[in-house]
Structure 1
């Protein structure tokens, strides 16, 4: 399985990156985009027909889902519209939240069931997204209904994506023994500069990687106002394995 970084800017899109979005491709699987924040639809077009992908949404903060209304336009009005419906897995209120953003009139809700087959995540449930490919969803510690994902290939390789979360037991459990941990790291580790219970620091991302015994730590979701070098340095103080902050267009083979 291959991970292509479409966007990795945290909380908002940045000057050099869309917000959160990651393309998964592999033999015998439908290409799948994990999160669909502002700018992701445009970046996706460099690699894949947007009408031919399925979507995993970890949560419904704007920086993780707000290009979804654009995807609905693509699927409905493209001169050569895709056949069938895209499978979207996400929080239980995704149809309403995205439908509100896509509605023609304020206060109404766009019914996206004409082009989307919506399937809510279930805590602790493992689902298939291709022959031998599985995704395990676990609830994370973040204000809205939010999930981290453990993605496993037919060969048994594992990619864990934290989504957005603060420290919680579930994120350690989800990451246990993963080959690659793609972890948000939105802050430096200074309680005076960050509210509690929302995001991870570079220090905390490194602590998760070390305690969970992962093979490699990839940092993401670093906002434009947070210094990448500082977050990387914090993570390296905690985790002795490979540490790297991802960039748009980067490709990682799982």
Structure 2
């Protein structure tokens, strides 16, 4: 199983990366975490012969903007898009005219599932819990090929993030805020809170992504974040666009 980061920015693209998107390549499925602008690179890493699943944490634009590129792909076994309550309504409007090619006109079948109520229709195990943000966000925990991956984005520290991260083989968290920064009115992680979550949850590895494009304009800013995270959790890493991690 391989993890590929296609976009690692939050808010908007800059020279350091596209908005957030990651690919989990398994033997049976290709699973995409969020659909920021980085998703356009998907066909560089998959051939479209396996079923494709897109898991949306929430509907902020930086997490769904890349959906307008879906028409370029040829998913031979179709696409399933999973999102929180209201996903059918939101995506039916967003992936539609006058903005882009409608879902019904894409060159492959598309199915939408709403989480958590329809998670039992997935062929793999997915647990979701609500996180704390300005709008509803789902944290995710996936069981794949004997490994556990947890995806936590757009939230501040909260009990549900800790529950989902518990004992994860790989914990992926956002890191939108700078070291020491916290805004209770717009909750996000900083490097220290990401590292603390990994340490307290007993995760094996931590990878930080979703770096605010305005706060982290250069690779050196991410390097500083990594130093702060490793003071709390030595097995921390920072994602960059194109980073690949093998899980075995």
Same fold (TM over 0.5): yes
Instruction: Name the CA shift for 1:139/1:104 in 2 (closer, same or farther; >3 Å).
Output: same
Q: Which residue does the alignment assign to 2:197? A: 208
The answer to whether the aligner puts 1:245 opposite 2:206 as a matched pair is: no
**How many residue pairs are counted as aligned between the two chains?**
239
The ranges of structure 1 where at least 4 consecutive aligned residues each deviate by more than 6 angstroms after the TM superposition are none
TM-score (norm 1): 0.83
**Aligned ranges for residues 1-254 of structure 1 at < 5 Å?**
1-27=1-27, 29-41=28-40, 43-49=41-47, 53-71=52-70, 73-74=71-72, 82=75, 85-105=78-98, 110=102, 112=104, 115-122=109-116, 127=120, 129-130=122-123, 133-155=124-146, 157-191=147-181, 194=183, 196-224=185-213, 225-226=215-216, 227-239=221-233, 241-254=234-247
Gaps spanning 5+ residues in structure 2: where?
none
SS in 2 for 1:45: helix
Instruction: Name the CA shift for 1:186/1:50 in 2 (closer, same or farther; >3 Å).
Output: farther
1:102 deviates by: 3.1
TM-score (norm 2): 0.85
CA contact (8 A) 1:55 1:86 kept: yes
Distance 2:168 2:38 in 1: 29
Instruction: Name the CA shift for 1:96/1:110 in 2 (closer, same or farther; >3 Å).
Output: farther
Instruction: Name the CA shift for 1:214/1:22 in 2 (closer, same or farther; >3 Å).
Output: same
